[in-house]
Structure 1
Amino acid sequence: MSARVHRLANGLTVAVEPMAGVETVAVGLYADAGSRSEEKGLAGLAHMVEHMVFKGAGSRNARQIAEVIEDRGGSINAWTTRDNTAFQARMLADDMVLGLEVISDLIRAPHFDADELEREKGVVLAELGEARDTPDDIIYDHLQATAFPDQMLGEPVLGHEETIAAIDTAALKGWLDGQYRPEGLVLAAAGKVNEDALLTLAEARFGDLAPGAAPQPAAATFGGGTHHDVRRFDQLHVALGFPGVGLHDASLHALSLFSSAVGGGMSSRLFQEVREERGLAYSIYAWAHAYAETGLFGVYCAAGRRDAARALALTREVLARTAETLDQAELDRARAQAKAGLLMGLESVATRADHLARQIQIHGRIVPPSESVALLDAVTVAQARAAGAAALSGGEALATVGGKLAKAA
């Protein structure tokens, strides 16, 4: 069965993909707005809105929202990233109407009670504290801030103590009104779903939204530099970052495959040379993440403090060498991993709904898996090497967490 796309008169996109052989459905509302669209003094606002809508919406309080979904054996979840926010319900097929009703209430009729907001600030501050006490978590915020200094793309999704304190109910309402505009919303459903029923529900729940689009966030540029968090932990955590590419860049897939080959699994060069052959680190891997206009290629490494400087030096050496000597077997292995990850993931109704929405947000259409596979298949060794070399030549961001050795790194 093929996926289909519809648009309501106000610009909201509806994507639906019936899947054979399943008895469940995933339905979600996806907003093309995340933390990078916030004002600097209100960092954390998008994430706070995501939390606060669950404190009461429509005719239900927080407990009733949870119970009405779980009474039917379903689950509902939400997440905020730097460039989007999602609300998704996973239900038995007969309960799709209920899942969509709750999601609609979350976005269209949140209570935003002032007392609840003050309580929830405490929850988010606890979440922030937990992240800061987890070195292999907080290091990514340090790296992001170093890679994109003085830009909203470099701000943490959770915000800061002072910006969380500044959020009030007017800010919550203003965020929904300004950012959740129909031209930037995608309602996606996958699984055992009736297309006509979904369209009828979409029109009933969202058809009266006034047309419009959210303002575009400011473009970001890679800065680079260093950040050392010298609190003492058992290990030294190191993250290297280099300029990546945007979602529409011709070298997007080449850089992704370079990243996988150099640090994407146990057979990758970084894992084999830094961990297996030298024993300098327990955990080491690479990744590439793309935003609309830019991206970040990075490496994370956790090493003993006495080994960290050597691990960092070897990591830089392996990266540079791979950009020169990546071979066909390594590229083919990375390509196989990427294809398998894509296709295996799409066997889940939840992942399939996410995929539908994200493809529309990025490309304005649903890109079939076969097209994505063809783009991966087209990448050559020369292209992957060139993508890696371009990233490594564009400057470096270095973030460390873990004590005095961080200064030496």
Structure 2
Amino acid sequence: MVTKFICQNGVRILVENLPYVRSVSMGIWVNVGSENESAEENGITHFIEHMLFKGTYSRTAKEIAESFDRIGGQLNAFTSKENTCYYAVTLDHHAIEAITMLADMFFHSKFEETDIERERQVIYEEMAMVEDTPDDDVDERLWSVMYPNHSMGAPILGTEETLSTFTKEKIESYIYENYTPDKVVISVAGNISNELVDKMISLFGQFTNSTHQTNKISKIPMFVPGKTIKESNTEQSHLVLGYEGLTVKDPDLVSLLVVNNILGDTTSSRLFQKVREEKALAYSIFSYYSAYEYAGAFMIYGGTSPDKLTTLEETILEITENIVNDGVSKIEIQYAKEQLESNLLLGLETSNDFMNRNAKNELIYGEERTVNQTLQELYDVNEESVNRVIQNLLTKTYASSVIKPAKGI
């Protein structure tokens, strides 16, 4: 059961006590991601995520790292298109110390120019790493094709051009405009003491940055069935097909999970069995989806040798055409639902799993959604809803992204 405390400033604190564990997972979630950025700001949300680890007025970056290592804790963060999260996992008796350090990073980071320039170079290397990982790069390029006229299609890391413009003034201005109490959720799960709850309320209840009307999402993302091809120094060709998907609150989203499971999310899926097991066209073949508040995408990835690329795409389209024309069977739906139920329950084995789930539910729905509620939605999926999703998604024109070996390499 999740207990929600709402501070006077609007910060929400979610607490789920798990007395059978010895860990505490805590996350500072900010309802701000790369989608909130203007074109000139692209990448600044992720840049700020990095900078919060670079030192505060009372701790250097090294001291922050050493403090968490000393208590055997884990400290990390991530940026998505819609959210930023700073999180830590510690043993229960170190939880107050950990949340105090997280709060110090969140409120009192220095953003020194020397650190900004140093971290800029680190992120340039991160960009290069993505380019050297073609299955990541091909997906990133697909989003730029599917949503070319919206921040949803922009890279989370930004570009070399935008990254070069970030200064202390720009960072602090962006934080002032976007890191406001109404957008902050503190999610904590594990073996939690009353003292920890009091400490969190004390730390985050003093957050005084006012709420600003700065929503830069001025238009709903419009899906475009475009195409991009990149030649690179790779051995394989990489292909992703992207269909316009469902938003995170779409009532058919759970049915999409079932479609994804049947089509390409497992080793018994249609894509895996046909593409890899029968035709030996690829080692890696799978489908996946992303769902956001205003947009979504359903994608199919395959990697193969250049001479098999056309055959791979034709085979994928043959499989999607078959599922459109013939639908899926009751037994396929049953097996998919059983596997998804298992995945859900096995995905709630640690305090960190609960912390993440609770925060996402609050940010998306504004309330707790129990596991039983989610399971009931899964049980309610049937042939009609699954086939409706198939017809709505896979009959539309798709976008595609290809990375293939450069000629002469």
The answer, yes or no, to whether TM exceeds 0.5 is yes
Q: CA deviation at 1:394?
A: 3.2
Structure 2 counterparts to residues 3-402 of structure 1, below 5 A: 3-194=2-193, 196-210=194-208, 211-212=210-211, 215-218=214-217, 219-323=220-324, 324-402=326-404
The 3-state SS of whatever aligns with 2:297 is: strand
Q: Do the aligned partners of 2:38 and 2:216 also contact (CA within 8 Å) in 1? A: no
Does the Cα contact within 8 Å between 2:51 and 2:116 map onto a contact in 1?
Answer: yes
- Unpaired stretches in structure 2, ≥5 consecutive residues: none
Give the whole-Å Cα distance in 1 for the aligned partners of 2:23 and 2:212.
32
Would you say how many aligned residue pairs link Structure 1 and Structure 2? 403
Structure 1 residue ranges, 4+ long, deviating more than 3 angstroms after superposition: 213-217
With over 3 angstroms needed to count, the CA separation of the structure-2 counterparts of 1:336 and 1:36, relative to structure 1, is same
| Conserved? CA contact 1:283–1:302, under 8 Å | yes
Q: Which amino acid aligns with 2:333?
A: L
TM-score by length of 2: 0.96
The Cα RMSD (Å) is: 1.4
Shift of 1:21: 1.6
Determine helix, strand or coil for the equivalent of 2:307. Answer: coil
Mapped partners of 2:111, 2:141: distance in 1:
31
Alignment deviations for residues 237-276 of structure 1 (CA, whole Å, 9 cap, x no partner): 0001001111111111111210111001100000000110
Moved more, 318-327 or 31-40: 318-327
Q: What CA distance in whole angstroms lies between the structure 2 residues aligned with 1:175 and 1:197?
A: 33
SS of the aligned residue for 1:346 comes to coil
Relative to structure 1, the CA distance from residue 10 to residue 19 in structure 2 (aligned partners, 3 Å threshold; closer, same or farther) is: same
Q: Using the alignment, how far apart are the partners of 2:215 and 2:225 within structure 1? A: 24
User: Does structure 1 retain, via aligned residues, the 8 Å contact 2:19–2:192?
Assistant: no
Distance 1:382 1:213, change over 3 A: farther
**Partner deviation per Cα, 1:107-148 (whole Å, 9 max, x = no partner):** 100110001101110000001011111111111110111111
Tell me how far 1:214 sits from its aligned partner.
Answer: 6.5
Question: 1:11·1:212 contact (CA, 8 Å) conserved in 2?
Answer: no
CA contact (8 A) 2:286 2:301 kept: yes
> Once the two structures are superposed, what CA deviation does each residue of 1:12-60 show, in whole Å capped at 9, x if it has no partner?
1110111132111001100111111111112110110010110102410
CA deviations 1:274-296 (Å, max 9, x no partner) are 11011111101001210002200
Worse-superposed segment, 248-257 or 80-89:
248-257
For structure 1, the residue ranges without an aligned partner over 5 or more in a row are none
Does structure 2 retain, via aligned residues, the 8 Å contact 1:182–1:213? no
- CA deviations over 1:134-191 (Å, ceiling 9, x no partner): 1111111101111111211001111110010011111111222121111111101111
Contact (CA 8 Å) 2:138, 2:240: kept in 1 or not? yes
